[in-house]
Homo-oligomer: A and B are copies of this chain.
């Protein structure tokens, strides 16, 4: 991985996340990365190859974030961690997640299943906590988290302390 290659990747991530994949031209990426346009195609084959390289890199980060929640054994702590996901995601890897959320509307290639391990883990946690309907409870919170993360990534002003406290109270954590 050369320096210019890294420049291309970071410029592309920023631009794709801000303005969208289709709306960002390869020449724009090249200029932002201070690189000739041809180099993008030498390294990544085509525009989609560049996108996939970004998604592959991000996928590893995503797994780290998820696994920290999923492998938590204490059910209350698991829910607690799940609730904090939106606010963590907004801080680190903001661009990657914004790209991810944009893509699920821009292309159909979105991995809707990436939520699933988390949903299963939450279902188990709610089971352990003797909730009446753990499956639906997990699906409910999943949609909520999806909506909340989306709002945060779009720049909605959200009082994270207020929201966190509200949720901790609601789920008696």
Binding site for B on A (CB under 8 A): 20, 22-23, 101-102, 104-106, 110, 112, 132-133, 136-137, 139-140, 142-148, 150-151, 154, 156, 162-163, 166-167, 169-170
Contact A133 B166 (CB under 8 A): yes
- Chain B min CB distance to A89 (Å): 14
Known contacts A136-B162, A144-B144, A147-B146: A156-B105 contact under CB 8 Å: no
Secondary structure dominating the interface of A: helix
Contact A146 B136 (CB under 8 A): no
Using CB atoms, name the residue of chain B closest to A104. Answer: B154
- Other-chain contact of A144, B23, B101, B133, B143 (Cβ < 8 Å): B143
- Chain B min CB distance to A98 (Å): 9
Chain B contacts of A143 at CB under 8 A?
Answer: 144, 147-148, 151
- Chain B min CB distance to A113 (Å): 11
Contact A140 B112 (CB under 8 A): no
Contact A140 B166 (CB under 8 A): yes
